[in-house]
């Protein structure tokens, strides 16, 4: 197994990906070790191995191919979408396709313009700079980034107060890949510096099936079609969750002396881990329960809802809400979040009389086709 990249987004480091063997196997199938190491080993390494997100994949393939033919770095790339859909994976793939090294850092790690200047001034020509959680950078760093992205230049400030001088420093051309779960928080001038923006959407069940088959092979887990299908349907359209559930079902099968991850094993393990038949987890259900039981279906403000479930508003907004809205359990109204008829139905509750007739149950087609593009 090649050394697993430590680059999962929270420190500034080099990740030479192009030499990584795409068939890398996770040898220790019996234990997860560090979950992030396992996650990294399961990442596809090339666009051609990346299932799902067909539009973003095709658009990115074109942008990268054109840049390679011109022999110059591509436009800066912004990737947005809920957690676990493959933004980091695609950033690594951009570098691998360009056969360039990637430097990984994140918004929270760049609180001062000087932090960013240090990273920028050490970039090599054509290098990919991956900025995860780019919406969490400080304003001063954002301003430095605009200039660097547009003019490949940073102004290094020497001295303090009235005597301070800005010394311009030329940078070699490079490509920023920014990732965000909250594209709406990016100031327009920063958003405009990205020549290509890809929005990642939840995956269709059949794409998750492909991802799970590949992960099972890499983890050396024997899994049948029904077992994989069950896990895929309950993975909230999210590869990270699919891979995690596969590992939990594998654990269950191993402990219960089953040699194959089948539908039985999937049912038992997912029940144990509180993943219901629509893939809703504890937080999703807590949000719906609070909406229906405490706020009579809403609408209720995000902050109030978050307090009711004991979570940060950002967690509710970026982790639970996109899936619940996408699947028709919840709607966002100008007056706050509201439960739909489907939410009441799913919890086995009856909506109070007078509930907005617009919030009637949506048809459910069994999970296939409601997700993904």
Ligand X SMILES: Nc1ncnc2c1ncn2[C@@H]1O[C@H](COP(=O)(O)OP(=O)(O)OP(=O)(O)O)[C@@H](O)[C@H]1O
Active site residues: 87-88, 132, 181, 240
Q: How far is the CB of 53 from ligand X (least distance, A)?
A: 6
43 vs 337 by CB, closer to ligand X: 43
Query: Quick check: 6 binds ligand X (CB under 6 A)?
Result: no
CB of 179 to ligand X, least distance (A): 6
Among 89, 105, 205, 235, interactor with ligand X by CB under 6 A: 89
- Closer CB to ligand X, residue 63 or residue 232? 232
- Pairing of the two strands 102-106 and 13-15: antiparallel
Helix, coil or strand: residue 93 = helix
Q: Which of residues 334-373 bind ligand X (CB under 6 A)?
A: none
Which residue in the shown chain puts its C-beta closest to ligand X?
A: 86
Largest alpha-carbon pair distance within the chain?
A: 74
Burial of 113 (0-12, 13-18, 19+ CB in 10 A): buried
Please select the residue that binds ligand X; options are 83, 114, 299, 336, rule is CB under 6 A: 83
Q: Does 243 bind ligand X (CB under 6 A)?
A: yes
Which residues, 213 to 242, sit near ligand X by CB under 6 A? 239-240
Query: Smallest distance, Å, CB 323 to ligand X?
Result: 14
Q: Do the strands 102-106 and 128-132 form a parallel or antiparallel pair, or are they unpaired?
A: parallel
Contact track, ligand X, 127-156, x by CB under 6 A: -----x------------------------
Q: What dihedral angle (degrees, nearest 10) is formed by the CA atoms of 200, 203, 208, 214?
A: -20
- Closest CB to ligand X among residues 129, 211: 211
- Contact code string over 32-71 relative to ligand X, x by CB under 6 A: -------x--xxx-----xxx-------------------
With respect to ligand X, which residue has the nearer C-beta, 23 or 165? 23
313: left (phi over 0), alpha (psi -120 to 50) or beta: alpha
| 78 beta partners | 178, 197
Cis peptide before 335 (omega within 30 of 0): no
Give me the residues paired with residue 104 across strands: 13, 130
Shortest separation between residue 50's beta carbon and ligand X, angstroms: 5
C-alpha dihedral (58, 199, 181, 102), degrees to nearest 10: 30
Nearer to ligand X, 241 or 339 (CB): 241
- Provide the annotated binding site: 42-43, 84, 87-89, 150-152, 193, 203, 240, 332, 337
Q: Is 328 in the site for ligand X (CB under 6 A)?
A: no
Q: Which two tokens stand for residue 267?
A: 């049912």
**Which residues are documented as binding site for Mg(2+)?**
88
CB of 6 to ligand X, least distance (A): 13
In whole angstroms, give the CA distance from residue 310 to residue 122.
42
Q: Is 330 exposed, middle or buried (0-12, 13-18, 19+ CB in 10 A)?
A: buried
Binding footprint of ligand X, residue count (CB under 6 A): 22
For residue 11 the two structure tokens come to 């420190």
Q: What is the DSSP code (8-state) at residue 82?
A: S
Instruction: Identify which of residues 261 and 300 has a Cβ nearer to ligand X in the complex.
Output: 261
Cβ-based nearer residue to ligand X, 81 or 227: 81
Provide, rounded to whole angstroms, the least separation between the CB of residue 172 and ligand X: 26
**Three-class SS string for 97-159?**
HHCCCEEEEEHHHCCCHHHHHHHHCCCCCCCEEEEECHHHCCHHHHHHHHHHHHHCEEEEEEC
Report the distance separating Cα 313 and Cα 309, nearest Å.
Answer: 10
Least CB distance to ligand X at residue 55 (A): 13
Residues 275-314 that bind ligand X (CB under 6 A): none
Which residues make up each annotated binding site for DNA? 332, 337
Number of neighbours of residue 353 by Cβ within 10 angstroms = 5
Q: What is the per-residue binding string for ligand X in 172-191, x denoting contact by CB under 6 A?
A: -------x-x----------
Q: By CB under 6 A, name the binding residues for ligand X.
A: 9, 39, 42-44, 50-52, 83-89, 132, 179, 181, 211, 239-240, 243
């Amino acid at each position: 197994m090649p050394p697993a990249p430590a680059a999962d987004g929270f420190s500034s480091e080099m990740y030479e990906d192009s030499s990584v063997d795409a068939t890398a196997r996770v040898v220790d199938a019996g234990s997860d070790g560090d979950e992030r190491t396992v996650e990294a080993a399961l990442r596809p390494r090339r666009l051609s191995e990346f299932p799902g997100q067909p539009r973003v994949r095709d658009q990115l393939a074109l942008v990268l191919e054109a840049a390679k033919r011109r022999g110059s770095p591509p436009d800066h790339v912004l990737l947005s979408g809920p957690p676990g859909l493959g933004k980091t994976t695609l950033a690594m793939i951009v570098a691998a396709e360009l056969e360039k090294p990637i430097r990984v850092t994140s918004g929270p790690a760049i609180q001062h313009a000087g932090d960013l200047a240090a990273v920028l001034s050490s970039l090599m020509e054509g290098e990919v700079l991956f900025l995860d959680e780019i919406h969490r950078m400080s304003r001063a760093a954002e301003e430095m980034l605009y200039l660097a992205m547009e003019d490949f230049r940073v102004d290094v400030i020497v001295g303090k107060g009235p005597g301070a001088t800005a010394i311009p420093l030329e940078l070699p051309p490079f490509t920023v890949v920014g990732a965000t779960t909250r594209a709406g928080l990016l100031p327009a001038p920063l958003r405009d510096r990205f020549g290509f923006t890809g929005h990642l959407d939840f995956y269709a069940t059949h794409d998750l099936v492909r991802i799970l088959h590949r992960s099972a092979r890499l983890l050396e887990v024997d899994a049948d079609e029904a077992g994989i299908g069950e896990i895929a349907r309950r993975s909230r359209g999210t590869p990270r969750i699919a891979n995690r559930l596969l590992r939990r079902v594998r654990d269950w099968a191993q402990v219960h002396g089953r040699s194959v991850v089948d539908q039985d094993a999937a049912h038992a393990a997912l029940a144990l881990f509180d993943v219901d038949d629509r893939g809703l987890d504890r937080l999703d259900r807590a949000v719906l329960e609070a909406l229906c039981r405490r706020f009579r279906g809403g609408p209720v403000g995000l902050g109030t809802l978050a307090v009711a479930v004991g979570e940060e508003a950002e967690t509710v907004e970026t982790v639970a809400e996109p899936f619940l809205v996408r699947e028709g359990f919840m709607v966002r109204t100008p007056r706050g979040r509201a439960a739909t008829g489907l939410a009441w139905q799913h919890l086995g509750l009856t909506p109070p009389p007078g509930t907005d007739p617009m919030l009637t149950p949506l048809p459910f087609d069994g999970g296939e086709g409601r997700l993904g593009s």
